[in-house]
Amino acid sequence: MPDATPQVRTLVSPHRLSRGRGRVIYWIVLAATLVTFTLVFVFPLYWMITGALKSPQELDQIPPTLFPADGLNWDTYREAWELLDLGRLLGNTVLYAAGAWIFTMAVDVTAAYALSKLRPVLGRVILGGMLATLMIPPMVLLLPTYVTVLDLPILHVNLLNTPWAIWLPAAANGFNVFLLKRFFDSIPRELLEAAEMDGASPARILWSIVLPISRPILGVVSIFTVVNVWRDFVWPLLALPDTEKTTISVAINSLSQTMPQNALTASLVIASLPTIVVFFLFQRHIMAGLTAGGLKG
C-alpha cells in the first residue's frame, strides 16, 4: 500500500541535512543570511546615531568615517534639543498622536464591529465605499480634506491650527476598518449569540467580549495610527501653519537649512526614538494581528 504521507519539497533535501557536512553548510548559509539582513536594516540607524556625534567637518569628509574620530561627544544632542525646542515639539506630536489613536479606536472599531456583526442595511455598499477610498492617491485627497477642515460642513467651524485637524482625518481610515472587520469576522458567531441570550447589549458584547479577544489587531491598528501621525509631514504642514503648534517633522524640515549637519542629525535621532521604541515593544502584534484575520473557527 503506497504511503499517503505528503512529500515536502525543500531547497535542501532532508537526507543531505542529516549529514554532517550538509548540516554545517546549512547553518553557515542561514547565519550569513541573518547577519547580512540585520546589518542592512540596522546600519542606517547606526549611521544616524553616530553621525550626530561627529563634527560638521567630519560629516563632510570623504571617505566617511565609521566611528567618530573625537569619541562619543553627546553635547550635540543637547544642542539640538535646545536649538529646536524639541521638548515642545515632542509634546505637540504626542498630543496629536494620542488623540488620533483615541479617535481611531472609537470610530474604526465601532464601524468595523457594526459591519461585521450587526450587519446593517447596505453594509456591503458602505464597506465597498470605504475600500474604494484606498484606490485614491493620498495627495489627491489633500485639497478636499483641507477644504473640509477649513470650513467643517454643517457646523461651519474652522479647524485649522487645532488638534481636531489631525485627529478627525486620522480616524477616517478605510484600511483600519477593513483590518478590524476581517478580524471580527473570524470571531465565532456562537460566542456572541450566547452573550445575547444572557441579555448583553451589542455595546456590552463589544466591550466585554470582542475587544479582549481582539488585542492583536488592536495593537496593529494602534501602531499604524501612531506611526502615521508621527511621521506625517505634508498634512501637518497645511493644517498647522502656526509654528508654535507644529509637529516635530515639520519643524525639523523648516530649520534644516540653518542648522549644523550634526545637530540636524541629532534632532532626527531624537524624533525617531519614540516610534522605534513603540515598534520594538509591540512588534509581535504586527504579524499576529495581520494573520489572525484570515483564520476561521
CA separation (Å) from 214 to 173, 187, 246?
18, 9, 34
Residue 3 has pLDDT above 70, yes or no: no
Q: pLDDT of 232-251, one tens digit each?
A: 999 999 999 998 899 999 99
**Res 9: pLDDT:** 54
Report which of residues 88 and 17 the model is more confident about: 88
What is the tens place of the pLDDT at every residue in 55-74?
878 877 888 888 887 777 78
SS (H, E, C) the chain: CCCCCCCCCCCCCHHHHCCHHHHHHHHHHHHHHHHHHHHHHHHHHHHHHHHCCCCHHHHCCCCCCCCCCCCCCCHHHHHHHHHHCHHHHHHHHHHHHHHHHHHHHHHHHHHHHHHHHHCCCCHHHHHHHHHHHHHCCHHHHHHHHHHHHHCCCCCCCCCCCCCHHHHHHHHCCHHHHHHHHHHHHCCCHHHHHHHHHCCCCHHHHHHHHHHHHCHHHHHHHHHHHHHHHHHCCHHHHHHCCCCCCCCHHHHHHHHHHHCCHHHHHHHHHHHHHHHHHHHHHHHHHHHHHHHHCCCCC
What is the pTM (predicted TM-score) of this model?
0.81
The percentage of residues in the chain with a pLDDT greater than 90, rounded to a whole number, is: 27
CA–CA separation, 32 vs 26, rounded Å? 10
Q: What is the mean pLDDT of the chain?
A: 84
Does position 46 have pLDDT exceeding 50, yes or no?
yes
**Candidate ranges 28-37, 76-85, 160-169; pick with highest mean pLDDT:** 160-169
Q: How confident is the model at residue 291 (pLDDT cuts 50, 70, 90)?
A: low
- pLDDT given for residue 295 in this prediction: 45
